[in-house]
Structure 1
Amino acid sequence: MIKRRSFLIGAAAGAGVLGLNGGRLLAAPSVLSSSVQLMPREGSGPRIVICGGGWGGLTAARHLREEIPEADVILLERNPFFWSCPMSNKWLIDVVDTAFLTHDMLAPAQAHGYKLVHCEITEIERDKKQVRTSRGVVDYDYLILSGGIRNDYEAWFGNDQTAIEQTRRNFPSAYIPSSEHIALKNKLKNFKGGVIVMTLPPPPHRCPPSPYERACLMAWHIKTNNIPGKILILDPKPRIAPIGAGYKAAFDELYPDIITHVPNARVKSVDPFNKRISTEAGDFDFDDAVLMPPHQASDLVWRADLIGKDAEGKPTGWADMHPRLYHANSDEDVYIVGDSMGAISPQFGHYPKSGHVANYIAKIVARNIAQRVRGEEVVAELPDNLCYMLVNGDPLEAISVEFLYDVGPDGLVRQTQIDIDVRTPDLMDEDFVWIKGMFDDFLV
Structure 2
Amino acid sequence: MSLDRRTFLTAAAGATGAVLAGCATPAATTGKPALPFFIGSPSQMLLPKGRAPRVVVCGGGWGGLTTAKYLRQLAPSAEVILLERNPVFFSCPISNKWLVDMVDTSFITHDYLRVSERHGYRFIQSEVLEVDRAAQRVVTSLGSLDYDYLVLAPGIRYNYEAWFGNDRTVADATRARFPAAYVSNAEHFALKKALHGFKGGDWVMTLPPPPQRCPPSPYERACMVAWYFKHNNIKGKVTILDHKDGVRPIGPGFRAAFNELYKDYITYVPNAHVQEIDPFKKTIKTDAGDMKFDHAVLMAPHQAGDLAWKAGAIGLNSQGKPTGWAEVDPLMLHLKDDPRVYVIGDAVGFVSPQFAFYPKSAHVANKHGHIVAGYIAERVAGRTPKTALPDNLCYMMVNGDPREAISVQFDYKVNDKGVIEQTQIDINQRSADLVKENFRWAGLKFDDMFS
Coarse TM-score class (shorter-chain normalised): over 0.9
Contact 1:55-1:355 within 8 A present in 2 as well:
yes
Partner of 2:59: 52
Partner of 1:35: 43
CA distance in 1, matches of 2:271, 2:326: 27
Note if 1:139 corresponds to 2:161: no
Partner of 1:11: none
Partner of 1:248: 255
SS at match of 2:37: coil
Shift, 1:341, TM fit: 0.6
Q: 2:70 aligns with which of 63, 68, 76?
A: 63
For residue 141 of structure 2, what is the amino acid of its counterpart?
Answer: S
Task: Please list every run of 5 or more consecutive structure 2 residues that lacks an aligned counterpart in the other structure.
Answer: 1-34
Shift, 1:408, TM fit: 2.2
Note if 1:342 corresponds to 2:349: yes
- 1:399-420, CA deviations, whole angstroms, 9 ceiling, x for partnerless residues? 0000011122332111111000
Q: 1:360 aligns with which of 355, 364, 367?
A: 367
Shift, 1:431, TM fit: 0.6
Q: 2:238 aligns with which of 221, 231, 238?
A: 231
Shift, 1:282, TM fit: 1.6
The structure-2 alpha-carbon separation of the partners of 1:252 and 1:30, relative to structure 1 and needing over 3 Å to count, comes to closer
CA distance in 2, matches of 1:202, 1:32: 40
CA distance in 1, matches of 2:106, 2:75: 32
Shift, 1:192, TM fit: 0.7
SS at match of 2:131: strand
Shift, 1:32, TM fit: 2.1
CA distance in 1, matches of 2:146, 2:114: 24
The structure-2 alpha-carbon separation of the partners of 1:28 and 1:354, relative to structure 1 and needing over 3 Å to count, comes to farther
**What is the 5 A alignment of 1:150-229?**
150-229=157-236
Contact 2:39-2:142 within 8 A present in 1 as well:
no
- 1:138-167, CA deviations, whole angstroms, 9 ceiling, x for partnerless residues? 000000000100011111000111110110
Q: 1:117 aligns with which of 124, 139, 143?
A: 124
- 1:33-75, CA deviations, whole angstroms, 9 ceiling, x for partnerless residues? 2121111235x43100000011111100000001100100000
SS at match of 1:377: coil
Contact 1:41-1:72 within 8 A present in 2 as well:
no
For residue 93 of structure 2, what is the amino acid of its counterpart?
Answer: P
CA distance in 2, matches of 1:37, 1:343: 35
SS at match of 2:346: coil
For residue 431 of structure 1, what is the amino acid of its counterpart?
Answer: N
Kindly, what percent of the aligned residue pairs are identical?
Answer: 57
SS at match of 2:116: helix
TM-score (normalised: structure 1): 0.92
For residue 230 of structure 1, what is the amino acid of its counterpart?
Answer: K
Partner of 1:426: 433
**What is the 5 A alignment of 1:266-285?**
266-285=273-292
Task: Please list every run of 5 or more consecutive structure 1 residues that lacks an aligned counterpart in the other structure.
Answer: 1-26
Shift, 1:129, TM fit: 0.4
For residue 310 of structure 2, what is the amino acid of its counterpart?
Answer: R
TM-score (normalised: structure 2): 0.91
SS at match of 1:339: helix
CA distance in 2, matches of 1:341, 1:203: 14
CA distance in 2, matches of 1:33, 1:212: 43
Q: 2:83 aligns with which of 76, 89, 99?
A: 76
- 1:379-430, CA deviations, whole angstroms, 9 ceiling, x for partnerless residues? 1111100000110011110100000111223321111110000110100000
Contact 2:64-2:82 within 8 A present in 1 as well:
yes
CA distance in 1, matches of 2:52, 2:430: 50
Shift, 1:377, TM fit: 2.0
SS at match of 1:155: helix
Shift, 1:298, TM fit: 0.6
SS at match of 2:76: coil
For residue 339 of structure 1, what is the amino acid of its counterpart?
Answer: D
Q: 2:382 aligns with which of 363, 370, 375?
A: 375
CA distance in 2, matches of 1:421, 1:49: 41
Note if 1:262 corresponds to 2:256: no
SS at match of 1:128: coil
Partner of 1:6: none
CA distance in 1, matches of 2:345, 2:54: 21
The structure-2 alpha-carbon separation of the partners of 1:257 and 1:146, relative to structure 1 and needing over 3 Å to count, comes to same
Shift, 1:28, TM fit: 6.6
The structure-2 alpha-carbon separation of the partners of 1:287 and 1:31, relative to structure 1 and needing over 3 Å to count, comes to closer
Of stretches 263-272 and 333-342 in structure 1, the one that deviates more from structure 2 is 263-272
Shift, 1:31, TM fit: 5.9
Of stretches 73-82 and 376-385 in structure 1, the one that deviates more from structure 2 is 376-385
CA distance in 2, matches of 1:226, 1:211: 22
CA distance in 2, matches of 1:104, 1:428: 26
- 1:246-304, CA deviations, whole angstroms, 9 ceiling, x for partnerless residues? 00000000000110110111111111111111112121221211000000001111000
Contact 1:193-1:228 within 8 A present in 2 as well:
yes
CA distance in 2, matches of 1:31, 1:117: 12
The two structures, once aligned, show a CA RMSD in angstroms of: 1.2
For residue 323 of structure 1, what is the amino acid of its counterpart?
Answer: P
Note if 1:397 corresponds to 2:393: no
Aligned length: 417
CA distance in 2, matches of 1:219, 1:161: 32
CA distance in 2, matches of 1:282, 1:368: 49
